């Protein structure tokens, strides 16, 4: 490179800020790898200079024509490194030179130890070692017993349930004897002056007279039997009820004779019986002796007779018809949410049968009067012809309900019934109705109800949580 080329080169650098890129020369042959020199001592670390301000990048100028390659001059001192020029296009790869031999390892340098590196991450925890075989220590002494806590206050006594309604009195039975008057009595003689007895057991005994008891009561029956016997004959008698059955333990002996001559005997027995109406008792005789047979006689020499007397205290009246049925008081289950309660089932007939129900309910029990409610329901069946519209078909009954506000926390024109707020009655059939009530407030447990129905119908309690379905009517209690 001559002086003019050098001047042009420097002018280019001054103008564009970097040297122009020349063409890539041919690849030189690989030089032999020299021996590794000894490692020099580590120098002290220099002070880091303050970063300089980045210069603005100039625009790229046009590439000048490539001049002729001059002879290589002597290398001058290394100048200050200029800015890195743009990377030229990669030239073709030259032939791979021969691999040089490995140089010998130089001696270890004696530089100062570098700073300690960062601690590595903690390794995985090893497996737990075997349990030691040391002896178990002695059990410590038991600590002193703590003081007893104070007794909590006694809970309030629950409310007594209301007394159920008394059923109506049944019809009065027939009057007994007038006080201080003679008791009713009667008597009868044997129906014949003489009976020839051939029966040997009570099962075929001969009827000799009848005690016609006129009314119900407790009666004393007395019988006397006269008999005539031959040698080795026996005469026995007893009391038989209206069906012809021997009353237990009423057998009696009228007479007995051993191997001698003819003998006349007489026997008397007294029995007590209780009757529920008019009935005919009979006195019968049989002859179970060694020689069968005997003769029962009734004449002036001695009468065979029976007598009966009603004992003092009157007699048992006949049972009157069953009065209206009033069930016991039933109690409902509890729930922390609003619920339908299935009270029970009324089995009835289609002839105007009536049901009256009284419900004592509450929605909560916090000693607040207006949580309480008294509700009355009247429900009556039809004549099996007339009907109203139910939820899904013809409905052969109807009813109404009302809430007694004066027993439900006091009258309030805006009072809305909650316990229950709704009554729903499902018609299972024209003779079966299920009654449900809806509590619009929670905690209704131990609310109770009673029901009054006629003697031709029955009530079956359920008192359970269930939702009504089927053909029903809905009754909302009015307020008074």
Whether the pLDDT of residue 222 is over 80: the answer is yes
Query: Distance (Å, rounded) from C-alpha 406 to C-alpha 186?
Result: 65
Q: What is the mean pLDDT of residues 227-252?
A: 90
Q: What is the mean pLDDT of the chain?
A: 78
Whether the pLDDT of residue 212 is over 70: the answer is yes
Model confidence at 402, pLDDT cuts 50, 70, 90, reads very high
Q: What is the mean pLDDT of residues 266-281?
A: 88
Q: Residue 251 has which token pair?
A: 């057998």
Model confidence at 172, pLDDT cuts 50, 70, 90, reads low
Best mean pLDDT range from 50-54, 92-96, 450-454 = 450-454
Q: What is the mean pLDDT of residues 201-222?
A: 92
Whether the pLDDT of residue 61 is over 50: the answer is yes
Model confidence at 386, pLDDT cuts 50, 70, 90, reads very high
Q: How many CB atoms lie within 10 A of CB 279?
A: 17
Residue with structure tokens 């063409």?
A: 23
**370 Cβ contact list (under 8 Å, min separation 6):** 408, 409, 410, 412, 415
Query: Distance (Å, rounded) from C-alpha 223 to C-alpha 238?
Result: 9
Whether the pLDDT of residue 193 is over 60: the answer is yes
Whether the pLDDT of residue 174 is over 60: the answer is no
pLDDT in tens, 284-315: 998 888 888 888 888 776 788 889 888 854 44
For residue 314, the model assigns a pLDDT of 47
For residue 126, the model assigns a pLDDT of 63
For residue 180, the model assigns a pLDDT of 54
121 or 267: whose pLDDT is higher? 267
Query: Distance (Å, rounded) from C-alpha 283 to C-alpha 279?
Result: 13
Task: Tell me the whole-structure pTM to 2 decimals.
Answer: 0.37
pLDDT in tens, 407-417: 876 655 556 78
Q: Which of 54, 52, 66, 53 is nearest to 12 (CA)?
A: 66
Whether the pLDDT of residue 49 is over 90: the answer is no
For residue 90, the model assigns a pLDDT of 67
Residue with structure tokens 């039997």?
A: 225
**301 Cβ contact list (under 8 Å, min separation 6):** 226
Model confidence at 224, pLDDT cuts 50, 70, 90, reads very high
Of the listed ranges 77-81, 383-387, 404-408, the least confidently predicted one is 77-81
Q: Which of 39, 48, 43 is nearest to 112 (CA)?
A: 43
For residue 282, the model assigns a pLDDT of 93
CA-only gyration radius of the chain, Å: 65
Q: What is the mean pLDDT of residues 417-423?
A: 90
Query: Distance (Å, rounded) from C-alpha 431 to C-alpha 381?
Result: 9
Q: Residue 429 has which token pair?
A: 């059939």
Model confidence at 329, pLDDT cuts 50, 70, 90, reads confident
Per-residue buried b or exposed e for 179-203, using 16+ beta carbons within 10 Å of the residue's own CB: eeeeebeeeeebeeeebebebbebe
The 3-class SS string of the chain reads CCHHHHHHHHHHHHHHCCCCCCCCCCCCCCCCCCCCCCCCCCCCCCCCCCCCCCCCCCCCCCCCCCCCCCCCCCCCCCCCCCCCCCCCCCCCCCCCCCCCCCCCCCCCCCCCCCCCCCCCCCCCCCCCCCCCCCCCCCCCCCCCCCCCCCCCCCCCCCCCCCCCCCCCCCCCCCCCCCCCCCCCEEEEECCCCEEEECCCCHHHCEEEEEEEECCCEEEEEEEEEEEEECCCCEEEEEEECCCCCECCCCCEEEEECCCCCCEEEEEEEEEEEEECCCEEEEEEEECCCCCCCEEEECECCECCEEEEEECCCCCCCCCCCCCCEECCCEECCCCCCCEEEEEEEEECCCCCCEEEEEEEEECCCCCCHHHEEEEEEEEEECCCCCCEECCCCEECEEEEEEECHHHCCCCCCCCCCCCCCEEEEEEEECCEEEEEEEECCCCCCCCEEEEEECCCCEEEEEEEECCCCCCEEEECCEEC
Of the listed ranges 21-30, 81-90, 133-142, 220-229, the least confidently predicted one is 21-30
Whether the pLDDT of residue 244 is over 90: the answer is yes
**What distance lies between CA 436 and its chain's CA centroid?**
19
Whether the pLDDT of residue 344 is over 90: the answer is yes
Whether the pLDDT of residue 35 is over 90: the answer is no
Share of the chain above pLDDT 70, in %: 61
Whether the pLDDT of residue 21 is over 60: the answer is yes
Residue with structure tokens 């030239």?
A: 91
**15 Cβ contact list (under 8 Å, min separation 6):** 61
Distances (CA, A) of 270 to 42, 305, 348: 149, 12, 51
Best mean pLDDT range from 57-61, 117-121, 341-345, 364-368 = 341-345
Whether the pLDDT of residue 358 is over 50: the answer is yes
85 or 399: whose pLDDT is higher? 399
């Amino acid at each position: 490179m001559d002086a003019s080329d050098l001047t042009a080169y420097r002018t280019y650098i001054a103008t564009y800020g970097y040297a122009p890129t020349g063409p890539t020369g041919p690849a030189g042959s690989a030089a032999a790898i020299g021996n590794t020199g000894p490692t020099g001592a580590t120098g002290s670390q220099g002070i880091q200079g303050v970063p300089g301000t980045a210069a603005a990048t100039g625009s790229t100028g046009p590439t000048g024509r490539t001049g002729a390659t001059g002879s290589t001059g002597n290398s001058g001192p290394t100048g200050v490194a200029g800015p890195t020029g743009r990377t030229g296009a990669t030239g073709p790869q030259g032939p791979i030179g021969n691999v040089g031999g490995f140089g010998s390892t130089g001696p270890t340098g004696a530089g100062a130890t570098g700073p300690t590196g960062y601690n590595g991450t903690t390794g995985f925890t090893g497996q737990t070692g075997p349990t030691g075989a040391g002896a178990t220590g002695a059990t410590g002494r038991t600590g002193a017993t703590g003081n007893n806590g104070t007794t909590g206050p006694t809970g309030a006594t629950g409310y007594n349930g209301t007394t159920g309604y008394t059923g109506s009195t049944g019809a009065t039975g027939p009057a007994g004897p007038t006080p201080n008057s003679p008791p009713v009595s009667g008597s009868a003689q044997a129906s014949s002056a003489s009976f020839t007895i051939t029966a040997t057991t009570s099962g075929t005994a001969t009827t000799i007279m009848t005690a016609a008891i006129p009314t119900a009561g407790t009666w004393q029956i007395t019988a006397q039997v006269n008999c005539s016997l031959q040698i080795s004959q026996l005469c026995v008698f007893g009391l038989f009820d209206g069906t012809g059955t021997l009353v237990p333990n009423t057998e009696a002996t009228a007479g007995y004779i051993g191997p001698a001559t003819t003998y006349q005997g007489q026997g008397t027995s007294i029995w007590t019986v209780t009757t529920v109406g008019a009935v005919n008792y009979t006195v019968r005789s049989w002859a179970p002796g060694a020689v069968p047979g005997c003769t029962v006689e009734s004449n002036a020499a001695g009468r065979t007779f029976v007598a009966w007397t009603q004992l003092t205290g009157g007699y048992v009246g006949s049972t009157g018809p069953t009065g209206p049925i009033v069930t016991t008081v039933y109690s409902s289950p509890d729930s922390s949410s609003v619920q339908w309660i299935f009270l029970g089932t009324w089995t009835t007939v289609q002839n105007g049968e009536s049901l009256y129900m009284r419900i004592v309910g509450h929605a909560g029990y916090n000693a607040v009067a207006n949580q309480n409610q008294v509700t009355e329901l009247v429900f009556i069946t039809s004549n099996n012809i007339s009907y109203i519209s139910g939820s899904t078909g013809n409905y052969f009954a109807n009813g109404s309900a009302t809430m007694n506000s004066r027993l439900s926390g006091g009258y309030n024109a805006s009072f809305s019934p909650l316990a229950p707020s709704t009554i729903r009655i499902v018609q299972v059939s024209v003779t079966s109705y299920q009654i449900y009530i809806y509590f619009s407030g929670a905690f209704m447990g131990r609310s109770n109800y009673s029901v009054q129905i006629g003697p031709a119908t029955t009530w079956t309690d359920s008192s359970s949580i269930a939702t009504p379905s089927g053909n029903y009517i809905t009754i909302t209690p009015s307020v008074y």
